[in-house]
Amino acid sequence: MSTGQVVTVDERRLYALVHPYELDGRPSSHPVEVRGHSTMNCYLLLEDDAALLYSTGYSVHEEALLAQLSDLVGDRKLTLVIPRVEFPSMCNARPIADRHDVERIYLRLPTNASDLLNFREGHAIDATDSLRSIPTSTMPDGGHARIGASGRRLDFIFPELRLLPCNWAFDVDTHTLFPGDVFAWIWHDRPDGPWLLDDRTDDPTTPERVATFLLRNRYWWLAGADVEPLRESVAQLFERYDIRVIAPDHGAILRGAAVDDHREMLDAALAEAGRQEPVGVEVGRWTSTPVVS
Amino acid sequence: MDVHPGCVVTELSAEHPPFNPLPREIAPGVFWLARCLCIPFMGKISHGYNSSFLVVGETGSAFIETGITIDCHEVIRQFEELRLTHDIPDPTHIFVTHSEMGHSGGLGLLLERFPSAHAYGDVSDHHLVFPRVADRLHFADPGDRFDLGGREIVVVEGVFRDLVHTRWFFDVKQRVLFPGDGFAFSHYHDDGACGRLAEETPDLAVVENTARFADVAFHWTRFVDIDPYVDRLQTLIFDELDVAMIASTHGLPIGDPVATMPAVMDGLRAMRTYGDVGAD
């Protein structure tokens, strides 16, 4: 069982709880033909009196994630943010709620946490279920969560560049953008990374990798699409916010010079995708044959 | 806000009164298991489904889709209710179109409840989510065939999708197509649509409801030419499969594709501009 890594993004303010997994064709985060290792990243925003966990990760990482939270959160009150209606965001909400003082859960859907998040074997909806009593809020575009007495703000963003309904977010204090399944294209041969990049050193990314990541998987529909509104929306986001860190759900966190490099690679990939022939109908016949080790 | 019997009021998380028009046998040996999720919209109560379907063979039965997590316990309850009055073999197959919550959110609970069943389809991520049953998860590709005993389920390309390896399924015996996210449209409780086929609901407004559902759930349709997808759907449904019924996960089942498909196709074409004219 992997213990994962705690990657310090901003000392005592923001930590990435990084959990490697193998790219063997089965994860939905990457194209079926990609091999190597990526990560499930959960982010801990820490204040003296409170903490916020952004995404709760996959079930297979439960023990490692709980150990990391035990060390870092202590007895602080905890807020959970679940920005995607997909498994990567949702799997460990129940065990976290059973062990920590969770005061609120932010969800995409207007429902209660117990109904939505008790989907794993053995997670009975009964008196042992701590999710039942935790208040929930939705995540409207332009809304935000506050962390502790300092009032540290996490802005919610409803991105134009998305496949499934999801939120992105921006941590105002650390200038960190959380872009979900975009910018998640850095994978390595080895599970130990590195999972924090300040520049192009140790960065295997090429324009071809970005294109493959997008067009052979979740963003298959970009080929031949009207991409100008999407390019414009990303540009506007980077004008609106002073983004110094990009913290995706999967793969390496980008900081410093790496931020602009990867923003430019995304824009170039979008522009090139728009010049391609559409493949949307043919995608339905792409095979999903993975190699299971 | 009124609470509709048998429908899940998402804002209120209400207690669920015992009445629900489902389960319902929509074709011989094909049962519709679900309950409505309802959300206030423009002064009315808009409903959507995250349906599961049960296909009954001679040696095994199959769930197609699992219901969203909120619904899975209800899906299992409806299955047990049906077994009291119908000869239904143990579930051997669970087909999921893709790994989104509305389609496979209940997979772990179903695999736990029915230990002889295996899951097939787009099972991306599920080994990371349900590791205890990873050996019962199997990808399937278009053309794969599964025998339920006197009844065959064929895997079909997912013409309209979000996740890339989405699969559709086809019951050869009754010519029922299970298209997952395809043919998704909401309905209004006040129109008496809950638990009915599209053709049994004269006021359904398929065009508007198809476009509105896409505006929320299928954002990519705003950036592409949808006509190639419409053309492929027409060919697949009428020329290649000769589909008699369409059992969508999110829409009402379509019992007369020839009559209803034109409105669905108009709804697909209206997706791109729906938000521009004001979804509010």
Residue numbers of B between 260 and 279 with CB closer than 8 Å to A: none
Query: Per the domain annotation, does A9 fall within a domain?
Result: yes
Is B164 within 8 Å of A217 when comparing Cβ atoms?
yes
Query: Per the domain annotation, does A292 fall within a domain?
Result: no
User: What span, in angstroms and rounded, lies between the C-alpha atoms of A29 and B185?
Assistant: 27
* pLDDT tens, residue by residue, B78-92: 999 999 999 999 999
Our CA-based measurement puts residue A223 at a distance from the nearest CA of chain B, in whole angstroms, of 9
SS3 at position A153: strand
Residue numbers of B between 62 and 101 with CB closer than 8 Å to A: 68-70, 72-73, 99-101
Cis before B23? omega within 30: yes
Query: Per the domain annotation, does A241 fall within a domain?
Result: yes
| H helix or E strand, kind and range, residue B212 | helix B206-217
Q: What is the CATH number of the domain that holds B131?
A: 3.60.15.10
Query: Per the domain annotation, does A289 fall within a domain?
Result: no
Query: Per the domain annotation, does A144 fall within a domain?
Result: yes
Is B30 in the A-facing interface, judged by CB distances under 8 Å?
Answer: no
Nearest to A111 among B13, B159, B223 (CB): B13
**pLDDT value, residue B269:** 87
Our CA-based measurement puts residue B197 at a distance from the nearest CA of chain A, in whole angstroms, of 26
**pLDDT value, residue B206:** 84
Phi, psi of A202 (to 5 degrees): 65, 15
Lookup: tokens for A273: 């995708």
Is A280 within 8 Å of B123 when comparing Cβ atoms?
no
* pLDDT tens, residue by residue, B100-154: 999 999 999 999 999 999 999 999 999 999 999 999 999 999 999 999 999 999 9
Question: Cβ contacts of residue B255 below 8 Å, gap of 6+?
Answer: B26, B197, B198, B199, B200, B245
* Strand ranges across the sheet with B52-56: B24-27, B30-33, B52-56, B61-64, B91-96, B118-121, B137-139
Q: Which residues pair with B39 in a beta bridge?
A: B46
Asked whether the predicted pLDDT for residue B278 surpasses 60, the reply is: no
User: What span, in angstroms and rounded, lies between the C-alpha atoms of A54 and A56?
Assistant: 7
Pairing of strands A152-157, A176-178: unpaired
Q: Which residues pair with B167 in a beta bridge?
A: B157
Is B154 in the A-facing interface, judged by CB distances under 8 Å?
Answer: no
Pairing of strands A36-46, A14-23: antiparallel
**B-chain residues within 8 Å CB-CB of A29?**
125
Full residue range of the structural domain in which residue A88 is found? 5-280
Is A120 within 8 Å of B13 when comparing Cβ atoms?
no
Query: Per the domain annotation, does A17 fall within a domain?
Result: yes
Q: What is the CATH number of the domain that holds A30?
A: 3.60.15.10
Query: Per the domain annotation, does A287 fall within a domain?
Result: no
* Strand ranges across the sheet with A168-171: A144-147, A152-157, A168-171, A176-178, A245-246, A253-255, A196-197
Full residue range of the structural domain in which residue B96 is found? 8-277
Burial (Cβ within 10 Å: 0-12, 13-18, ≥19) of residue A190: exposed
Asked whether the predicted pLDDT for residue B15 surpasses 50, the reply is: no
Nearest to B112 among A109, A121, A125 (CB): A121
Question: Cβ contacts of residue B137 below 8 Å, gap of 6+?
Answer: B118, B119, B123, B126, B127, B130
Interface residue of A62, A164, A227, A293 to substitute, partner B, most B CBs within 10 Å: A164
Question: Cβ contacts of residue A258 below 8 Å, gap of 6+?
Answer: A197, A198, A199, A200, A203, A246
Question: One digit per residue, pLDDT tens: chain A, 293 residues?
Answer: 567 999 999 999 999 999 999 999 999 999 999 999 999 999 999 999 999 999 999 999 999 999 999 999 999 999 999 999 899 999 999 999 999 999 999 998 888 899 899 999 889 888 899 999 999 999 988 999 999 999 999 999 999 999 999 999 999 999 999 999 999 999 999 999 999 999 989 999 999 999 999 999 999 999 999 999 999 999 999 999 999 999 999 999 999 999 999 999 999 999 999 999 999 999 999 999 765 54
Is B229 within 8 Å of A230 when comparing Cβ atoms?
no
Cis before B131? omega within 30: no
Q: Are B52 and B66 in contact (CB under 8 A)?
A: yes
The residue among A24, A3, A5, A23 whose CA lies nearest residue A15 is A5
Q: Are B169 and B141 in contact (CB under 8 A)?
A: no
User: What span, in angstroms and rounded, lies between the C-alpha atoms of B27 and A223?
Assistant: 39
**B-chain residues within 8 Å CB-CB of A88?**
125
Q: Are A288 and B122 in contact (CB under 8 A)?
A: yes
pTM score of the predicted model: 0.94
Our CA-based measurement puts residue A221 at a distance from the nearest CA of chain B, in whole angstroms, of 7
Number of domains in chain A: 1
Q: Are A273 and A227 in contact (CB under 8 A)?
A: yes
- The residue of chain A with its CA nearest to that of B213 is A165
**B-chain residues within 8 Å CB-CB of A121?**
108-109, 111-112, 130, 132-133
Is A227 within 8 Å of B163 when comparing Cβ atoms?
no
Query: Per the domain annotation, does A149 fall within a domain?
Result: yes
Query: Per the domain annotation, does B1 fall within a domain?
Result: no
Pairing of strands B36-41, B8-9: parallel
Number of domains in chain B: 1
